[in-house]
């Protein structure tokens, strides 16, 4: 598509920048911040004329908001899974009752969501999920199983869970997409996973007979694969451009470190820095080119391959330009601060996971090979 910002888009950008400047102070509680966003109408910009969001915005205005948000230093969003993943899925596949129940609290920033897809042994292979959902005599479902790498599960009020409702089914057949409340003591347990960075954004979630109401199955029983694949298509888009604003800020810090340490005088290092800059511009142009398009099965996979590898290389470059000082923490270790990282050390360690989460590089290449290039499907059971 021919993508550009019109005068009304820039006016919208100015309104967003002004609002953020007046509300971001760097000390907000993330849940309270979601309510602040909702109260001022900044959640649900991409829901169109659904009647369940707040203000409506064109695609270019959504990009402007996302970019200004990234530049503002506002808190990382706790509500983006509900807003960007669940809501479009309900608008596409949910019943009127499901939309009326779940979309207004998301728009208000009152209910937070997490995604129950990946499992041990079935990370990127969603068709291999083993979590079970059994219909009880009262008509509700009882869910048992384990999910892993569940972002923000420790904060979430609800989880959308891909589970097997037909015990005789295999692979992508017999799956259902269920909306499950997290506040079920004894039935839902969340265990944080400590990462290389010392933080715990991801979690394990254990379901032991957790309840889900029959009317909270999205798209109908046995239609979970169709709904789940539709949801994955919403994972990339406007947010990719906002992500690139953050990448540009990180690249600036790496360049500043190279100048400070003197290695920017090395022509090899300069070439690596210029390459990172040029590739980031290329990713932006590609994102703008494909934004709002449809029918290109390979576009999300290409975008994921591009940014994941780029971000990993940036982390490695950040350590290269700092030399030996990259191995030293920013603070003296002690009982109260046993593990501290600065921004560039965090970048390097966290980026190691970029080529795995959200669909590994291998999975993305398989999608491109089979769905775009038309190559034969990979044989099953061949070692």
Answering whether pTM is above 0.85, one says no
Strands 132-135 and 203-212: unpaired
Q: What's the pLDDT band for 236 if we cut at 50, 70, 90?
A: low
Is the confidence at residue 382, as pLDDT, over 70?
no
Q: State mean pLDDT over 98-112.
A: 95
Per-residue pLDDT, 339: 78
pLDDT at 288: 79
pLDDT digits (tens, 9 = 90+) for 178-198: 999 999 999 999 999 888 888
The residues with which 207 forms a beta bridge, in sequence order, are 145, 188
pLDDT (0 to 100) of residue 3? 57
240 is written with which tokens?
């990719």
Reported as a pLDDT band with limits 50, 70 and 90, residue 383 is: very low
How do strand 113-116 and strand 158-164 relate by DSSP bridges?
Answer: parallel
pLDDT interval class at 237 (50, 70, 90): low
At residue 380 the predicted structure's pLDDT band, cuts being 50, 70 and 90, is: low
Q: Is 235 a catalytic residue?
A: yes
The residue among 279 and 298 whose pLDDT is bigger is 279
Least confident of 88-97, 159-168, 233-242, 325-334: 233-242
- Average per-residue pLDDT for the chain: 87
Instruction: Give the per-residue pLDDT at 321.
Output: 95
pLDDT value, residue 147: 93
Q: Higher confidence at residue 336 or residue 195?
A: 195
Catalytic position from the list 15, 110, 221, 235: 235
pLDDT-derived band at 14 (thresholds 50, 70, 90) equals very high
pLDDT of 280: 94
The whole-number pLDDT of residue 295 equals 57
The tokens for 11 are 């006016």
Q: pLDDT band for 124, please (50, 70, 90 cuts).
A: low
Tell whether the model's pLDDT for residue 1 goes beyond 50. no
- From the list 68, 67, 361, 363, the residue with the least C-alpha distance to 238 is 67
The neighbouring-strand residues paired with 147 are 205
Closest by Cα among 182, 89, 171 to 122: 171
pLDDT for position 125: 67
Q: How many angstroms separate the CA atoms of 104 and 269, rounded? A: 51
With 50 as the cut, is the pLDDT of residue 372 above it?
yes
Per-residue pLDDT for 296 more than 70?
A: no
Beta bridge mates, 113: 158
Average pLDDT value for residue range 348-375: 86
């Amino acid at each position: 598509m021919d993508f550009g910002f019109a005068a009304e888009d820039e006016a919208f950008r100015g309104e967003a920048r002004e609002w953020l400047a007046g509300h971001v102070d760097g000390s907000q509680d993330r849940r309270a911040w979601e309510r602040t966003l909702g109260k001022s109408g900044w959640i649900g910009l991409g829901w169109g004329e659904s009647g369940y969001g707040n203000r409506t915005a064109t695609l270019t205005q959504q990009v402007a908001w996302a970019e200004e948000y990234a530049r503002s230093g506002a808190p990382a969003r706790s509500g983006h899974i509900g807003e960007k993943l669940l809501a479009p899925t309900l608008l596409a596949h949910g019943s009127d009752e499901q939309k009326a129940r779940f979309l207004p609290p998301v728009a208000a920033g009152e209910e937070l969501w997490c995604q129950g897809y990946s499992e041990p042994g079935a990370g990127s292979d969603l068709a291999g999920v083993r979590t079970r959902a059994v219909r009880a005599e009262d008509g509700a479902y009882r869910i048992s199983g384990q999910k892993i790498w569940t972002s923000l599960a420790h904060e979430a009020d609800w989880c959308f869970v891909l589970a097997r409702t037909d015990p005789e089914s295999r692979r992508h057949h017999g799956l259902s997409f269920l909306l499950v409340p997290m506040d079920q003591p004894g039935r839902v347990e969340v265990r944080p996973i400590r990462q290389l960075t010392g933080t715990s954004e991801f979690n394990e979630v254990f379901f032991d007979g957790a309840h889900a109401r029959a009317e909270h199955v999205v798209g109908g029983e046995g239609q979970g694969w169709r709904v789940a694949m539709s949801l994955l298509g919403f994972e990339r888009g406007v947010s990719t451009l906002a992500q690139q604003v953050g990448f540009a800020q990180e690249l600036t810090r790496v360049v500043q470190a190279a100048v400070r340490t003197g290695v920017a005088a090395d022509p090899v290092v300069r070439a690596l820095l210029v390459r990172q800059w040029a590739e980031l511009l290329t990713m932006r142009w590609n994102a703008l080119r494909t934004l709002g398009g449809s029918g290109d099965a390979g576009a999300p996979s290409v975008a994921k391959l591009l940014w994941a590898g780029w971000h990993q290389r940036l982390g490695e470059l950040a350590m290269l330009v700092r030399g030996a000082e990259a191995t030293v923490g920013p603070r003296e270790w002690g009982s109260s601060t046993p593990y501290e990282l600065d921004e560039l050390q965090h970048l390097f360690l966290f980026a190691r996971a970029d080529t795995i989460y959200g669909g590994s590089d291998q999975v993305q290449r398989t999608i491109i090979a089979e769905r775009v290039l038309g190559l034969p499907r990979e044989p099953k059971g061949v070692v």
